[in-house]
Every structure is written in C-alpha cells, then in structure tokens.
Amino acid sequence: MASILQYLVYGLQLGSVYALLALGYTMVYGIVRMLNVAHGDFLMIGAFGTYFISKLFTNMVVDGTYPVIAVVAIILIAMVLTGSIAVAVEAIAYRPLRNKPRMIALITAVGVSMFLENFPRALPFIGPNPRSFPTLFITEHFTVAGASVTNVQIIMIVFAIVTMTALYLVVNRTKIGSQMRAVSMDRDAALLMGVNVNQVISITFFVGGALAAVSGICYASAYPQVDVYMGSWLGNMSFVAAVLGGIGDIRGAMLGGFILGIAQILATAVNSTFGYAVGFIILIVILLVKPAGIMGKTTIEKV
C-alpha cells in the first residue's frame, strides 16, 4: 500500500511536468491548428536558461543554495526568456507559412526542433555533454502514510495545479481569453471583430514557452541533469498527454499529463524498460477507442 502511494507521488510529480508542457502544446494547437513539434525543446531552453541565469546569481548562494528571492527571480527570468524565444520562433519560422498547407508547417516545426537541439550543441559554452542542474530548493523529506514526500514535489504539483487553474480562468473569463478562443474557432471572423490575430498568437506562444520553462525547471529539479536533447522525448510524452486529454482542451492537457505520469511510473515499477513505451501504448489505445481524447467532444455544428 505504502509503495503504491509512493508511486502515486512520483507519478504526480512527473505528471505535472507533462501537464505543464502539454498545456503549451494544446494551446498552440488550439489557436493555429498546428502541431508545434519543437515545443518540447522550449523545455530544454528553459532548463538551460535557468542553468546559466543561476550562474549569474552565484554570489547570492548561502550554504549551497539560493535565497527564495533569487529563486523567484531566476524562474521569472527563465520564463520570460523562453517565452520570448517561443515568440521569435513563431514570428520567424511559422508566421510566413500560416496560410500554407498544414503539412508544410509541420515539416518546418520538425526543422525548428532539429535546429533548437543542434545549434546549442554546436555552441562551445553549451556543447553536447550533460550539465548538472543547480539546486534551487533545499530538499526536505516528510513521511506521509509510509510514503516519502519532498517539499520540492509538493511545490511542483501545487504550482502545476495553480498555474493550470489560472490559465483555465484566463481563457474562459478574460478578454484576451475570449480573443484566443475566437481566433481558435475562426481566424477571419476574429479579424472582423478587430482582434489583432498576430498579437494573440504571439501571446499564446509566449505563455506556452513560459510554461515549458517552468516544466523544465520542475523536471530538472527532480532529475538534476540538463542536456540539449532532453526536450525531445519529454515533448513526445507531453504530446501523448495532450492527445490523451483531447488536444485543444486545457483541462484535458492537465488530466492527460497526470494520467500519463502515473502510468509511466507504475509501468517503470513493473519493468524499468517499460516506462517510455507505455506512453505510446496509451496513444495507440486512445486513437483506436476515443480519437478525440478524454475531454474532447465531437462538435455539433449546424451549417
């Protein structure tokens, strides 16, 4: 029983990484109907960004760790940096192709992903070797009903849930949120309502990039190593999470992320080589049984 609970804690932790990343995937898909295959690489940029930004704050280190104010600053700077890179990627690589067939944008995204992974790899100060991620939080262990829980895990899971709730409320209750929904439903009609579509798409990419950075920080805090390819498979898994939940749906991304995280940890517990495969087994099953995903519904629309 205790071990099941323990797996659940690990699952939720990994799930919050997937969920935060899947949110960006799903929002971008919702608004431009495009699979941004390079989305996972934003996670890597966020993690590497944090690595370098934290170097700038080394003189604030006390007892091998950073004061809270420095941690908050590091995270915020990494979020803004990654969000800005995501905006730039959209403006440079995707915007010129927006009215072309979707396959062209998809292939471009694959190219962007390769660039984002291999360009830093060629830079002398980044390179191909993994770096160890700085300790941003002092880990404290608690024992809850026989399962070991750390403060870092609690912070991550709570932060993921709060972020997703906030995002859900922004999309459904605010002006920028309704503009986003309008663009996602009918871009031309949104233009005719005076919506600045380019700006709305940029904001969406910014939010997606910033969340990917948080996701990268969460992941690297749990598995303290960063390398240029880390975003690739995490991106694949979060894509599965987004499809599982129903791509385009924010609650779905969150649900899919947590389900996938828990499933992967449980599968790894059974057989350590099985963890990554379970994601794709879930993907195949969901595509066969309910292609629109858990939250996705077939839209009824009279013409």
Partner 1 sequence: MSMLEVRDLHVSYGAIHAVQGVSFDLNEGETVALIGSNGAGKSTILRTISGLEHAKSGSIKFQGSELTKMKAHKIVELGIAHVPEGRRVFPGMTVRENLLMGANLVKDKEKIRLTLEHVFEIFPRLKEREKQPAGTLSGGEQQMLALGRALMTDGSLLMLDEPSMGLAPIVVEDIFRVIKKINEAGTSILLIEQNAFLALQTADRAYVLETGKISMHGDAKDLLKDPRVKEAYLGA
> Which listed range, 14-22, 59-67, 153-161, 294-302, lies at the site for partner 1 (CB under 8 A)?
294-302
Among 195, 247, 259, 265, binds partner 1 (CB under 8 A): 195
Question: Which two structure tokens, joined as six digits, stand for 200?
Answer: 């709305």
Among 69, 192, 285, 287, binds partner 1 (CB under 8 A): 192
Among 196, 225, 276, 290, binds partner 1 (CB under 8 A): 196
> Which listed range, 16-24, 138-146, 171-179, 271-279, lies at the site for partner 1 (CB under 8 A)?
171-179
Contact 100, 32 (CB under 8 A): no
Task: Give least dist CB 99 to partner 1, A.
Answer: 11
- Reduced 3-state DSSP string for 23-46: HHHHHHHHHHCCCCCCHHHHHHHH
Contact 23, 164 (CB under 8 A): yes
294 binds partner 1 (CB under 8 A): no
Task: Give least dist CB 259 to partner 1, A.
Answer: 24
SS3 (DSSP) at 220: helix
Q: Could you give the string, one character per residue 231-270, with x where binding to partner 1 holds by CB under 8 A and - elsewhere? A: ----------------------------------------
Q: 165-174, long-range: CB within 8 Å, 24+ apart, which pairs?
A: 167/23, 167/207, 167/211, 167/250, 168/250, 168/251, 171/250
Nearer to partner 1, 21 or 182 (CB): 182
Among 186, 271, 277, 290, binds partner 1 (CB under 8 A): 186
Structural element, H or E, at residue 143: strand 141-144
Count of residues of this chain found to bind partner 1 when the rule CB under 8 A is applied: 22
225 binds partner 1 (CB under 8 A): no
SS3 (DSSP) at 172: helix
173 binds partner 1 (CB under 8 A): no
Q: What is the Cα Rg of the chain in Å?
A: 19
140 binds partner 1 (CB under 8 A): no
Residues 6+ apart with CB under 8 A from 174: none
Task: Give least dist CB 86 to partner 1, A.
Answer: 22
99 binds partner 1 (CB under 8 A): no
Q: Where are the alpha helices (DSSP H) in the chain?
A: 2-32, 39-56, 68-89, 102-122, 151-173, 175-185, 187-192, 197-222, 230-245, 250-270, 275-289
Task: Give least dist CB 192 to partner 1, A.
Answer: 5
Task: Give least dist CB 182 to partner 1, A.
Answer: 5
Contact footprint for partner 1 (CB under 8 A) = 175, 178-179, 181-182, 185-186, 188-197, 299-303
